[in-house]
Amino acid sequence: MARIKPQALLQQSKRKKGPSRISATTIIFYSLILVLFGFFLFTTYRHWSNRSRFRSENQMSVSEAESTSGDPRKSDLPGYAVLNTSKGSIIIELHKESTPEVVDEFIDLCQKGHFKGMLFHRVIKHFVIQAGDNEGAGGTEDWNLRGKQHTSVKHEAFMLGTSKGKHLNKRFDLLITTAPIPDLNEKIIVFGQVIKGEDVVQEIEEVDTDEHYKPKVSIGILDVSLTQKI
């Protein structure tokens, strides 16, 4: 058997212990794995950060809506009423914020057809036109006397209201002022304002009346429609 020389054995030992080279394919493979892993971490971070931001923004928008809307039932109420009369249409903006209970009752009565066919039974020039029942004739005459005696203006022209006394007795009439009226806070609950149809109000105001301010020719409300926007 041939003997291996010591010098050959030393060179063979060095070749075995030396590091093996890594191929380019292996380097590319592991680099792709690192890139994919980094991309996965990045997308996961963006997903959870966007979700947290959306949740906080959603909570903020809900809290802002609650703070601005207050009672959500008020925002759902119609904002306008259209009084279709035998002389033409009168558009009323309802004061939902200042008189919510009266507006609620008015809307409920409109939906029940309470004002359909109601007559303007009292017309006082440069004062008010009134639709409703014909009981208590002295009420409006008393307001007319008060108007002559007082000078402080509280109610502007073309305001919609109802009589306090009749309202307390579960009756609901309608009054539209035709001029600035002295202090009648004890008599009238104002819950709306005419924004279109002032000429119709003035035409009703100009009709001939008897000594009790009752129109000699019947003028009435054909119906009342409610709407959110005009």
The single-letter code of the amino acid at 81 is A
Q: Each residue of 79-135: pLDDT tens digit? A: 999 999 999 999 999 999 988 999 999 999 999 999 999 999 999 999 999 998 765
Closest CA to 175 of 208, 217, 144: 144
Closest CA to 122 of 54, 188, 219: 219
Q: Each residue of 139-165: pLDDT tens digit? A: 444 444 443 443 333 568 999 999 887
What token pair was written down for 227?
């709407």
Distance (Å, rounded) from C-alpha 216 to C-alpha 16? 127
How many residues are there in the chain?
230
Closest CA to 121 of 14, 194, 207: 207
Q: pTM of the entire structure?
A: 0.62
The single-letter code of the amino acid at 191 is F
Sheet with strand 174-177: strands edge to edge: 120-124, 128-131, 174-177, 159-163, 188-196, 88-94, 80-85, 221-227
